[in-house]
Structure 1
Amino acid sequence: MTYVKDSSADNPTPPSYEQSQKPVPTLTPQQAYGPSQHDGSSTSPSQGRHPAVNQEHKDTLAPQITNVADKETVYQRVLLINGRAGTTENKFESTVSVVSHGFPTISWPCVDSHFKALVHLNPGPNTISFIFNGPYGPQTTHFHVTYIPLTQNSPLYLVIMLASDSPATFDVPPEKRHENTLNVAVEKFRMCAYMWQAFMSEQFYRNGMGRRALRLDERYIPDTISAQDTGVLRQTAFVYVVRSKKTLKEWRDLKRAQQSPESNHGDQDLYSMFIDTLREYGAPFDKPCTVAGLMMDSHWDTKAKVTRAHAALGGKAGDLALGIFGSHLLHAWPRNMEDIVPAFMNATTTDTRYVANDANESGQWWKAANIGMGAMLHEVGHAHTLTHTATGIMSRGYNNWNRTFMVKEPGSHPSPIPPHAEEGSHWHRVDMIRLRFHPTFRIPQDGYWAPKSDMGPTIEPLEHNRLAIKAPAGLSMVELIVNGGYRTHFEWPEPSQQTTYYELNLDHCKKEARCGPQEKLRIEATSCNSQTIVLDDADDFLRQHIVVLPNVPGKVFKSHELGQKGLGGGHQSSVVLLQSPQRYITSILVHHGGFFDGMVFQWNDGSRSVLGQLGGGATEFRLKPGERVVKFVVRCGAWVDGLQMITNAGRITQWFGGTGGGLAEIEAPDGHELVGLYATAGQWMDSFGIMYRAP
């Protein structure tokens, strides 16, 4: 199991889709997110008056949508809209109302012509009216968008976890003492998930990757994302409520609280408890899936100054990917669309006599909403294979979460907040590359596409300060990190661009990464099946992987190790496989059982070479004259689970050992020949690699 730990009024009815409309001006992403037409010099918005205008100019005050084209197709229920309305020459505050069929009208702030809004869509064609409530009466733009649910994509499941004896309430300040029920938690979690969906789709668009979207597990049940018609039946996000066998005392044990100085990693942690409970629950969590988990029983301990039953963790345990977070900031989350603006404009001071000030960064309610929803998305990001990045949500950019949805915020930050000024509320480009190939985010334009292989990438040393990257599934990205900080990356974001073999010149990498002679260059290579290999220190890797073998001329390289020496790696061994017409290998005796133990190479002169241990049963693989092994397919993790061999004649052996662990293959790079093997072992083999040279 692996996871990442973190701190912590009535309006006109819009015409039908088929009716002819005046085209709505749209901007390209570059135009939409370029510099604002407002100089941004003021520290707060002020009321202004529009100058007198003629009818032609008056028409230009109607809303213009800048991030979605008219009649575009999208794949999400809740769509984030960015736009301009009113004059761009004066400072003012007004509203833009959003009117759509079958959903209540909701108004959103418009500051100095900038506005942002969330729009509810029904499956199929939608006509949306955006009404600017300006000084000359309502100015209306009718906009068309088609929503196609991609039910073939795997969804994100939403789960609220309760202790066996949980009261099913969460921490709230006195002002909200009647707003901490399980039903309220479900409503808030549902609304949060749709905000995640809108944010992620917009981020894909801004990065030139189309209208990819996070699909939620939806059912035809009473909807709650509008306060004006709660209970209307719609396809809406379903929230699982799961009761654990663990008691409230166990969940709230101070030793399990992530932020507690008494945290004891010897005990089962909250993440493991959550995972175990999901597996006990059964479907849909008994198959590969991704889950966002909210711990309902989080509680701010005013004496210990710790939030009990809270952990900010995300990652994967087997086939179950999970991001978890506590409910201690849930009081500040919006319950529905109408509540979003009030929630993000609520500057009430957090009273730590009742609720937590998480990370000492949620001292006002709007900031608590940012951290609660944004930091939980950070953990869901980990569950989708994302790592920590230099900027954005996977850094601590979730403190600016509100800016995705708002053109103003409390405090002294200048208004308006156009899309390019959202600061931390974004996915870093390397996040987008990882998500681009995640199966959750496929779109019809991709056509049929699947990774070419389940195998992860490998990195091998070469002559002249070079590295060979092999990625059977296709290489999507190589990141260059200096002294722990991201510097740059190379990317292959489209399938047509991808390669399965790529050579890196280390000198060029250092120049691109501005890496000094005394600095450490870390290289991370990611393939299209979301697997990554890491070289923590590229220079040290090259130094450590040049070896001298007896009776083998030339420079010999060791490959990277497969297996993590999880059994201690106490028994080291190596064999030289360089053959000649006079001396050659006739057979290989493979020792294996539930795991892979070792191999004995039988030579024609009667001698033997042993690699690893000789436990388990033994299976003989006989080689034909002139035949030699050139490639190994390996399953490994903490140790070597199993192995298969492929020869220069194309013969493939049976599978030896177990089938756990990740899949990889290893062979000499292009233009090189295999000359030896090396391994370590405990009770059975726990690491394995090859040795090769240029002939």
Structure 2
Amino acid sequence: MTISFSYRDNEIVSSPAVIVSGSTSSGIQHGIVCFTNNENKVFPPQYFEVNNGQFKAFVHVSPGESNQFHVEVMDNGFLSSFGFPEYRNGRPNVVDKGRLALAFNPLPQNKPVHLCLIRGRDSPNTYDMPHYRLSRGEQPNLENAIKKLKVAGRMMQAYTQDEMRAVGFSNRSFQFVEETTSDQTIFGYKVQSPTPHQEIKVHVLTSPKSVAELRSPDLAQQNPNAKDSGGLFSHAIELIKNSDIYDPKSGTAVQCAVMYLDSTYDKKNNLILTHAALGGGTNEVKLAIFGSHGLHSYPQNFPLLTPSFLDSTRLSTNEVANDCNECGTSWECLNICLGAFMHEIGHLLGCPHQIDGVMLRDYVWWNRSFLTRELECLRTHSSGELIQRNGQWSRVCHWNVLDLIRFLYHDSFALPVDRFEKVYTTTRKPDSSYPNSAVPSSYASPGNGSVMMSDAGIFMVEIVDGDLTRYHEPYLPQGYGGNGVVHQCVINYAEYLAKLRSAKRDAGEGYKVRVMSLAGDLFIDDFKKHCSPSQQDLVKSDFGLGRGELTGYKSELLGSAKGEMRVATFNLKTVYKVRVYSGRALDGVRFYFRTSTGTQGGAPKVPPRNYLKKLIGHHELHHETHSQVNGVAKEVSSLVGKETGSYSDFELQHGEEIVRFNIRNGAWVDGIQVVTNSNRSSPMLGNAQGGHLSSLVKPTEDAQIVGMYFYLGGWLDGLGLIYTYR
């Protein structure tokens, strides 16, 4: 007889728990399989069902020496309600044997996820639990809540590694913060192992709010009349920032997955209180939050994984919540409430909603990734299903390939053998330590298209119809089917509309574009409008270049558009000094430049004063200012924004030319840095820590920067380039 495994012998894994799928050639319909690792040195034997000759084993591995699994299949075995083997006729009847070796390489150098519980200051440390579980002795206390989260975390890690492996992205998964223990309770045994192992550490954070305050209907996300439905999210961020988890000196975001312990179902108002399913975060805390209302269905130890997914006990809203009306049985509740928690962790790790998979709601099939048998499903009115003899289910849950590409470039998934850079904000290094940390920039170009640029490197472009990506072009690393990131790409509107409609025939014309780079993402909400600027968005003039009327294009706006747009023009090739006016933010920038016949320090002739008269649109113009002596120009300059008494000068050296502007911006423009072709730069002038880093450069070699457009309030609210083509 032969046992086949999904993993090759001596394969290296990076998840502490691994889903090993396989089959036995014994031809048995039902039975059990036992995996014994290194003769029980670290972990006890683990047992799983065999159905239609197929099995899925959720096994544990330890670092250091090779994990040598001795595998046996028994045709007279079954699992008890506690997940331990029992045998008809009292003794196991072994019908197949095999061996598998796996090497485990931990990744402590990667930025981890902190798994957390938040409780009210007066919390009784309990969670909702149906009566049938209470009657069999299960206790809904803090200790068991922590155990359930530890098991859940390992399930998510193993599942994600299996998904990365399936598409050829190597055996990689995200990491949790861990702790060392010899206690074997989580494996179902009340003993101490002579060899310690690692378990996920669960941080317990106590809120200054009472349980009653946390259970306010105004915080309940599912309450349509809630006054602060996102309040639990911001509250979790506040608690994390005031805890030992957060280090403000690290210079990069901490990652936290949080469950609120004091969730409960309010039957009278049909609300789950102290619950919100949210993921995302800030530059300081990347966060996922969920409630404990379905925690009762989670396995409390690893042997209970199979019984938990096979618990078809019907649940009543007289006792517990029926989240999304898809938790009619205990195993369906496990799918929904743990799958949805993983969905929010997906948001924490940078994933948007997708057309299918975890980031839609495909976790209703999540059990099939761990089991070969499914019981009655009230959601689909199915009496049950078995895995097919080829090892396939009729339908399963996946991480969408777009999520997996994000994970490939996320440093929480990095492998020591990787030779490609990761998204800057996902590493342990301070975000500010990366010199090319500006988000991508886009520039409309003739021919109904746009040039996308990124110094850090673009790793994927997504075409979005409605709210979901329907077409994508990845730039995968060498070794994974690509040539690595690109620093510039051109997206033609008509070409990509055709590609979009090949994937979704009824896609609208106003599609969206997401450009993903190692330094962050650029999202263009209406790409058709972006590629087809109206006359109001064009500037027509000769810009003092003496080449007749030219069309000036506007770059994307950094900051915000408040009030009236204004325009200032200059010939960047002849700028010899830049004066930056700033205080708490950027107030203005004055460019001093030569005329076509003048020289710095000399007496250039006054240029024609009418070359901006053909500007299209009703924009306030900032003309060049001139100082004259006897009718001869002594100084020519152009002002962007306004002058103040606080300024700094940056003078260019002979032969130098400005090639880019690094901008700190958010809701307004915080600061500006001037960079020259000799790689010399000014300091970041203004608020050097404000907003995020962006850049403004000319999009192609045949383009020329001829000015800036801006919006002026108390300081510069918005700023962009004007460029033309030669």
Per the alignment, in what secondary structure is the counterpart of residue 385 of structure 2?
A: coil
Considering only aligned residues, what root-mean-square deviation do their CA atoms show, in Å?
2.3
Offset, 1:329:
0.4
What corresponds to 1:576 in structure 2? 569
Q: Is 1:407 paired with 2:372?
A: yes
2:387, 2:122 → 1: CA distance? 47
Give 1:611's match in structure 2, choosing from 612, 637, 640: 640
Per the alignment, in what secondary structure is the counterpart of residue 355 of structure 2?
A: coil
Of 614-623 and 121-130, the range deviating more from structure 2: 614-623
Alpha-carbon spacing, 1:627–1:449, altered in 2? closer, same or farther (3 Å): closer
Offset, 1:564:
3.9
What corresponds to 2:706 in structure 1? 675
Give the TM-score normalised by the residue count of structure 2.
0.82
Per the alignment, in what secondary structure is the counterpart of residue 434 of structure 1?
A: helix
Offset, 1:347:
1.3
CA contact 1:593–1:616 (8 Å) conserved in 2: no
What corresponds to 1:653 in structure 2? 682
Letter in 2 for 1:199: Y
Letter in 2 for 1:527: S
Alpha-carbon spacing, 1:92–1:564, altered in 2? closer, same or farther (3 Å): farther
String of CA shifts for 1:636-667, please: whole Å, max 9, x gaps. 22222211012345441221111222212120
Q: How does 1:84-99 map to 2 (within 5 A)?
A: 84-87=23-26, 92-99=29-36
Q: Is 1:504 paired with 2:491?
A: yes
* Gap runs ≥5 in structure 2: 77-92, 377-381, 425-433, 544-548, 595-625, 628-635
Offset, 1:442:
0.6
What corresponds to 1:132 in structure 2? 73
CA contact 2:17–2:59 (8 Å) conserved in 1: yes
Give 1:474's match in structure 2, choosing from 457, 470, 473: 457
Letter in 2 for 1:132: V
* Gap runs ≥5 in structure 1: 1-58
Alpha-carbon spacing, 1:155–1:623, altered in 2? closer, same or farther (3 Å): closer
What corresponds to 1:272 in structure 2? 234
Offset, 1:570:
2.1
1:285, 1:193 → 2: CA distance? 23
Give 1:599's match in structure 2, choosing from 589, 594, 601: 589
Offset, 1:165:
0.9
What corresponds to 1:4 in structure 2? none
Q: How does 1:188-199 map to 2 (within 5 A)?
A: 188-199=148-159
Alpha-carbon spacing, 1:422–1:97, altered in 2? closer, same or farther (3 Å): farther
Give 2:131's match in structure 1, choosing from 174, 189, 192: 174
Letter in 2 for 1:688: L
Alpha-carbon spacing, 1:616–1:513, altered in 2? closer, same or farther (3 Å): farther
Offset, 1:333:
0.6
Larger radius of gyration: 2
CA contact 1:571–1:682 (8 Å) conserved in 2: no
CA contact 1:86–1:132 (8 Å) conserved in 2: no
What corresponds to 1:427 in structure 2? 399
Letter in 2 for 1:168: N
Q: Is 1:557 paired with 2:557?
A: no
Give 1:122's match in structure 2, choosing from 51, 62, 87: 62
Q: How does 1:72-87 map to 2 (within 5 A)?
A: 72-87=11-26
Offset, 1:87:
4.7
String of CA shifts for 1:500-559, please: whole Å, max 9, x gaps. 111122221111111669532111111134x21111111111223751233343332111
Offset, 1:77:
1.2
Offset, 1:179:
2.0
Q: Is 1:228 paired with 2:189?
A: yes
Give the percent of matched residue pairs that are identical in Structure 1 and Structure 2: 28
Alpha-carbon spacing, 1:313–1:549, altered in 2? closer, same or farther (3 Å): same
Alpha-carbon spacing, 1:246–1:331, altered in 2? closer, same or farther (3 Å): same
What corresponds to 1:251 in structure 2? 214
Per the alignment, in what secondary structure is the counterpart of residue 471 of structure 1?
A: strand
Give the TM-score normalised by the residue count of structure 1.
0.85
String of CA shifts for 1:345-397, please: whole Å, max 9, x gaps. 11111210111000111111111101111100111111111111111001111
String of CA shifts for 1:255-312, please: whole Å, max 9, x gaps. 01111122113x8700111111111122455543211101001111111110111011
String of CA shifts for 1:432-457, please: whole Å, max 9, x gaps. 11110111111122147456732221
CA contact 1:404–1:419 (8 Å) conserved in 2: no
What corresponds to 2:672 in structure 1? 643
CA contact 1:456–1:664 (8 Å) conserved in 2: yes
What corresponds to 2:144 in structure 1? 184
CA contact 2:659–2:676 (8 Å) conserved in 1: yes
What corresponds to 1:590 in structure 2? 580
Letter in 2 for 1:570: G
2:274, 2:62 → 1: CA distance? 38
CA contact 2:16–2:62 (8 Å) conserved in 1: yes
2:177, 2:648 → 1: CA distance? 48
Q: Is 1:260 paired with 2:223?
A: yes
Q: Is 1:353 paired with 2:344?
A: no
2:213, 2:644 → 1: CA distance? 42
Alpha-carbon spacing, 1:435–1:310, altered in 2? closer, same or farther (3 Å): same
Alpha-carbon spacing, 1:223–1:213, altered in 2? closer, same or farther (3 Å): farther
1:226, 1:517 → 2: CA distance? 50
Per the alignment, in what secondary structure is the counterpart of residue 544 of structure 1?
A: coil
In the alignment of these two chains, the number of paired residues is 624
1:564, 1:364 → 2: CA distance? 50
What corresponds to 2:45 in structure 1? 105
Per the alignment, in what secondary structure is the counterpart of residue 559 of structure 2?
A: coil
2:488, 2:554 → 1: CA distance? 18
Per the alignment, in what secondary structure is the counterpart of residue 694 of structure 2?
A: strand
What corresponds to 2:415 in structure 1? 443
Offset, 1:96:
1.3
